[in-house]
Amino acid sequence: MRVKVLAFLILLLPQLAWSIKPLPVTVAELKSVLFYPTRTAPANVVSRNDSKISAEVSAVIERIPVEVGQVVEPGTPLVELHQSDINLAIREAEATMKSLQAQSEQASSQLQRVRSLASKQSVTAELLGQRETEVKVSVAALTAQKIRVESLQRELNKTIARAPFKAIVIERIANVGELAMPGTPLVRVMDASNIEVVAELQSYDVPSLSHASSALLVTRNNEYTVRLKRIIPVIDEQERSQEVRLDFVGSSALIGTDGHLAWRENSPYLPADLLVRRNGFIGVFVEDGGTARFVEFPNAEEGRPIMNILPLNSRVIKDGRFVVQDGQLLRINSEKSDPPTADQQAEVSPQAASVISKAANDE
């Protein structure tokens, strides 16, 4: 029985030792170790409008007055189609309109004469009604023909494809002499004025970006200030990433520029090397009234910094954190020293030695 007691006391010796003799450690003010990590994500510059300008009418391409790389203002002609067929159709429609105009005027004149005779009861009501109907028919036909002329004039305007915005000509898709049909792509242009940054973030980084006070697009040769515009509420199934879009603040990079988005966390973090594991939990040791106190960080992962949850006036244990135990007495070293070894932690104190000696005498 005494042997068992002795064995138990030997096993208890390390706990007795650290609970009685203070462990030498060094501590640091929490504020001195906190930092604000920088996050990064791949990003590139895109145009909000990447458009293929298509033909709206059927005609042969007559001229393409722009070149690839040219920057054009809104309304600048990009492609011109043959207009001869539509011009002939317009002339024909205008001639028909003039004929209908004359017929309408004649019908109105005849109606006026019949009404004058009808007031003297010199014509029948049937003839009066017939003349009124002829006027209505002629007016309707003239109106329809005017619409026809306007429609053909619109078709004529469509023979010139114009830039819808300040654009960069990226590609000449069609060539002079080809027959363009409605919907045939003619040229490809990009909006030169409305550009933005597209970045792919891990979903857990999105909240920190949304709360960041500023962000930068960092390229090989420059840095550009950007501002969060919108977060796409969809997670990519393959990459498990989430897209965000940002606007430039001030100067902007060229369309197609690659780089990375960089921003600083607004919340302070603890370095990963201060984290230790105790009883399956990850956290840090702080000095609390001369003793060590283990504070768990529920969301911590080994090897990764963690957002601070400690009061800013805390003092964290640095040297000695790997061997210290929760509740252990501490001796704070004024200068940084090497971490205590396991042998130092288990050093036998006079009080512990007397307990073992008494048990041996009883045996």
Distance CA 103, CA 85 (A): 27
Chain segment 185-201, per-residue pLDDT in tens:
999 999 998 999 999 99
Chain segment 316-329, per-residue pLDDT in tens:
999 989 999 999 99
Q: Give which of 69, 71, 80, 55 is closest to 176, Cα–Cα.
A: 80
pLDDT bucket at 349, cuts 50 / 70 / 90: very low
Distance CA 318, CA 315 (A): 9
Chain segment 188-234, per-residue pLDDT in tens:
999 998 999 999 999 888 998 998 888 999 999 899 999 999 999 99
Tokens of 284: 């840090």
pLDDT bucket at 358, cuts 50 / 70 / 90: very low
Identify each DSSP E strand in 265-308 by its residue range.
269-270, 276-278, 281-288, 291-296, 306-307
pLDDT bucket at 348, cuts 50 / 70 / 90: very low
Tokens of 49: 């409008």
Q: Which residues contact 8 (CB under 8 A, 6 or more apart)?
A: none
* Residue-level pLDDT at 89: 86
pLDDT bucket at 2, cuts 50 / 70 / 90: low
Helix (H), strand (E) at residue 44: strand 38-47
pTM, whole model, 2 decimals?
A: 0.64
Chain segment 78-102, per-residue pLDDT in tens:
999 998 888 888 888 888 888 888 8
Distance CA 356, CA 9 (A): 7
Distance CA 41, CA 205 (A): 9
